Structure 1
């Protein structure tokens, strides 16, 4: 049934709603049209005052190159909590109301003019960042670094914690029949890990440490195991998360970070798990971890990672941390030629990620510990923000039929 056009977008609508993703030529498409959907469109929005609110959002018709989706699953990410609690991540600041969410999968309800890669009824995962495709970084294939990227759930661009969302068809990836919407929503954090692992260059049979047993750290542990890196150690302060990590990847060695030790002290204790003593020797140093995947962003953990990696090794910071860190051991990194590296999101990871899930290389389903219906999305964020709840990955699901 074709929707009825109600009106142009009001002037008070969010900026993304008025401008939307740019066309491939860099010129904004005409204004979206609001359409009448058969069901309400509840959304979860963050405000500039660090509050959350559940409000009805408009439903828009897809323009040229776009599709209208029914979002079936959205994962709650640590960045959603950061935007709520702190109001910013680095230079990304919440300056007004914005719908949260970017780890998403859904079904195509309508296609805009010129869309040939998707049809109504296709099940897809969303790649949430829409780059400008004109800058030198985009032209060089490094579109994840585009300064003009329009990223879902980052002010002013509305995210996926809503029932209906328009998204460019180019940045929607078809799900294999054996991959669920819930798994499709896990492709986004998997992509973060894949970009980090690809950039760090894990080696078959070489040891690695994963710092942090949250969702990203656990996915990194599973991916590192699949890559052939060995032995693997995962660290965390929370014993319950380490217990889960051991069940999730039984071959992993767990280490509970000691609060009575400083960063260097914890690094020495973790190195002992690789057969390397406090001083180390030629054989022992070789056995020390070649790669450290730092998945927390916490300053003390980053510093621990610097002392963990063997000489000539790599520390890959995947976690999101403080804007400025003051205590990095610069001369230790320099004298040991340890490569301290960083990533920003991902690029060209969705096709490979789909192969990993569809081909059975990775099974991430056990990570989903809590699910909530869309109408209880506020409760979902509260659960995710409180570690005492024991959550791993919280997802917001909308299982109803919202066909237009």
Structure 2
């Protein structure tokens, strides 16, 4: 893989645009891992993880099961919510944004500041997003939200159904002073006609330019069969279509030291992928024919065939460092299939680094650390996620 470096580029695209929506403050020197779980019978919890609790796992099989402990109580923040109301979590800068679906009214977004521990109210969710979002992407200081046709008004016909595409951004309000800022929603150009109502986003990544979002889709009834990739240039509000597919699932992260996107594949492999060079312009949709160069790390981080109830996700920690979160039902709960029990789930967190060897092959660094927790899990649809802030 070509190792083209991008000098001076920031560590995390999800943090690079927050300057427009916060007052000037000294650069943060310490970051922490924040873990979001549905381990509370009344809703969700956000835990702040002590990295000192990770045990060295040098030269060990990364799939081994560590001795599980319990998370320290109380958590950093608890969010009470009815069981049938979804919550979506996203981050930008030092803030965690919490969005609920709006089936019970136009509920506001919540914004938790990890530096000040303040919880603020954001803008109300637009009425046409009444069932929430399928995907939220942070780029250039804004949140871009995609809502599937199922979230549109019930009386609309199949022919009229379209995906919704909206953005939440901030602007000066002047309501409490000249430097006061506020968040608001606005609609964006409709998704291109090639984006079928039967498609769903399976993976996405933000280009190093900070403006271009790439999204690979699949048919809703065949999520494992990838179809194609769309890109949206936020600077020019222009859509493009590409014939290739991103090789990872869910979110991919740009790492400037590797000069590539890094993501997790469904089968447990870490994937490294070059960035496309045609990031968009004011030209309309056009076909991209260049296939992306990508490679896998030789060793798997987990084996899905032996962990049937496994849910896994990847978090970027900057400077080619990552954290893998794996969640599986414990043996007792698996036998009874009891969600909601205090110890129904085992959560494994593994931190690792990546680098190219002298042959240009992507490899894990020698040092891996891991920790495991026994936690409750109350819903099937919510997967544990972590943020590095």
Smaller-chain TM-score range? Answer: under 0.3
More helix by share: 1
